């Protein structure tokens, strides 16, 4: 059985044959590094879904692009996140909350570290995080825009790339998606205000103790499944989400580190910042 990506045909591939790959050289993938990929069999059941096809000439045809994104910073765990990124030499995007930037002396220091770090791109995750009262927040679209404007100004962000708190919403010229429909008007108002709203394709969720749930092997299989079953919003491009505050314990830090390491060793992926997502830099209609 074959699978088509952006007009090219490939055998079932991805993450399962790590034992075989152990004899290959270790890859420390930079933001735009490209190498040849290997093949493997997905164990996930197929789920058909039509996704947007984009002929991305900047990506070798047998590669997949992963956008590592981390929400709610600066927060507990931000320092650990930066250590992992530098250890693996991989780039990411931090979606920041304005109020967190002044939450403590440590958070102020972490914000400065994020600003200086060339591996990190900063984006907008609102000023108040809706005070975690999402239903009420999205009832007032003008307030939502004001909240994001406040974050943009206070954090001195250079772009209008945004992620909505508590919602998986997309508003680009070519992608419109809202997980909870009562947020539609607020999302549309953000787009009208010039914000490019980015959701996610895969989230690494927490336990009740605010640690990363599941392990890196489980998450690698989910990456495999999403690409194999065309569940990403844009073919060959996967937006990954987790949160700074889940990276405070040694086990969670180790699992994220192993997750990135195994993706790199598979030699099938490149990593990019969210501003390089296909068509995100178009002027919004």
Each residue's pLDDT tens digit, 75-124: 999 999 999 999 999 999 999 999 999 999 999 999 999 999 999 999 99
> Taking 70 as the threshold, does the pLDDT of residue 157 lie above it?
yes
pLDDT in tens, 170-184: 999 999 999 999 999
Tell me how far apart the alpha carbons of residues 121 and 114 are, in angstroms, rounded to a whole number: 8
- Indicate the pLDDT class of residue 31, thresholds 50, 70 and 90: low
13, part of any domain: no
Q: DSSP state, 234?
A: B
73, part of any domain: yes
CATH number at residue 224: 3.20.20.370
Structure tokens at 207: 């336990």
Structure tokens at 187: 């999302």
194, part of any domain: yes
203, part of any domain: yes
Number of domains in the chain: 1
The mean per-residue pLDDT over the stretch 118-134 comes to 98
Residue 62 pLDDT: 81
CA atoms within 13 A on the CB side of 231: 16
Residue 57 pLDDT: 59
Residue 60 pLDDT: 63
48, part of any domain: no
More confident residue, 31 or 104: 104
> Taking 60 as the threshold, does the pLDDT of residue 232 lie above it?
yes
197, part of any domain: yes
Share of the chain above pLDDT 70, in %: 79
32, part of any domain: no
Q: Across the chain, what does the average pLDDT equal? A: 86
> Taking 50 as the threshold, does the pLDDT of residue 141 lie above it?
yes
18, part of any domain: no
Domain that holds residue 106: 59-276
Task: Give the DSSP H or E segment for 196.
Answer: strand 196-197
Out of 25-39, 68-82, 256-270, least confident range: 25-39
Q: Cα 92–82–63 angle (5° rounding)?
A: 30
> Taking 70 as the threshold, does the pLDDT of residue 22 lie above it?
no
Residue 56 pLDDT: 59
């Amino acid at each position: 059985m074959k699978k088509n990506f952006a007009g090219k045909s490939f055998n079932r591939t991805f993450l399962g044959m790590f034992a075989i790959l152990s004899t290959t050289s270790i890859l420390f993938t930079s933001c735009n590094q490209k190498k040849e990929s290997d093949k493997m069999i997905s164990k996930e059941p197929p789920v058909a879904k039509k996704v947007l096809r984009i002929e991305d000439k900047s990506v070798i045809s047998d590669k997949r692009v992963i956008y590592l994104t981390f929400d709610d910073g600066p927060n507990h765990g931000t320092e650990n996140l930066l250590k992992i990124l530098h250890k693996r030499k991989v780039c990411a995007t931090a979606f920041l909350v304005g109020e967190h930037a002044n939450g403590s002396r440590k958070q102020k220091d972490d914000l400065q570290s994020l600003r200086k770090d060339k591996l990190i791109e900063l984006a907008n995750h609102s000023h108040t995080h809706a005070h975690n009262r999402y239903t009420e927040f999205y009832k007032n679209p003008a307030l939502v825009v004001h909240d994001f404007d406040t974050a943009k100004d206070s954090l001195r962000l250079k772009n209008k790339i945004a992620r909505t708190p508590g919602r998986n919403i997309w508003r680009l010229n070519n992608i419109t998606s809202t997980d909870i429909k009562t947020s539609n008007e607020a999302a549309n108002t953000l787009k009208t205000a010039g914000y490019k709203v980015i959701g996610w394709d895969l989230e690494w969720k927490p336990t009740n103790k605010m640690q990363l749930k599941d392990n890196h092997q489980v998450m690698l299989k989910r990456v495999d499944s999403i690409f194999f079953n065309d569940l990403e919003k844009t073919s060959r491009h996967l937006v990954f989400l987790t949160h700074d505050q889940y990276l405070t314990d040694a086990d969670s830090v180790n699992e994220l580190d192993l997750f990135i390491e195994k993706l790199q060793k598979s030699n099938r992926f490149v990593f990019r910042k969210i501003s390089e997502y296909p068509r995100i830099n178009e002027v919004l209609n």
